[in-house]
Amino acid sequence: MSGPARRANLLEAFRAVAWSTGVLLCIGAVALPVAHAHIYVAGFKSDLTDAVAAMATAQRGELIRRERFSPDAAAAAVAHDTRILARATLEADGRLRLLAMTAPEAVRTAWLPALIYERRMAADGTLSEGRWLTEH
């Protein structure tokens, strides 16, 4: 194989690799954000709703034992997950507001969006429908 023919073959090989790389990058530019939103973030949203459910279960136990809410016990129910900040506050009308949100450290390091999920618990232990206070 002579020099010009070899150079032409190398140029064709380089062009094929460049096109393949470009196509893969274009596919990745579309597929990765979709996968992030539908797999990673959706799983975390499920974790937030589970955290509020665990807080509600802990509060029902407090209602049975002490006949009153204990906001500190609610937050302790999900203290094991460092991606989630949990907060329970007693409202003026006697209901307990249960919040689960993305921890700031998780937003910075884990590529999670800032999400807040809320439910309210009445004095008899019934829960309101959950709602998202943030959009994603």
Question: pTM of the entire structure?
Answer: 0.77
Asked if pLDDT for residue 122 goes beyond 70, the answer is: yes
Where are the chain's structural domains?
A: 3-132
Rama region for 76: left / alpha / beta (φ>0; ψ in -120 to 50; rest): alpha
Q: Would you put residue 97 in left (φ > 0), alpha (ψ -120 to 50) or beta?
A: beta
The pairing of beta strand 84-90 with beta strand 131-132: unpaired
Query: For residue 86, which of 60, 94, 77 has the smallest C-alpha distance?
Result: 77
The SS3 of residue 49 is: helix
Tens digits of residue pLDDT in 96-116: 999 999 999 999 998 899 999
In DSSP terms, 127 is beta-bridged to: 121
CA 53, CA 98: separation in Å to the nearest integer? 9
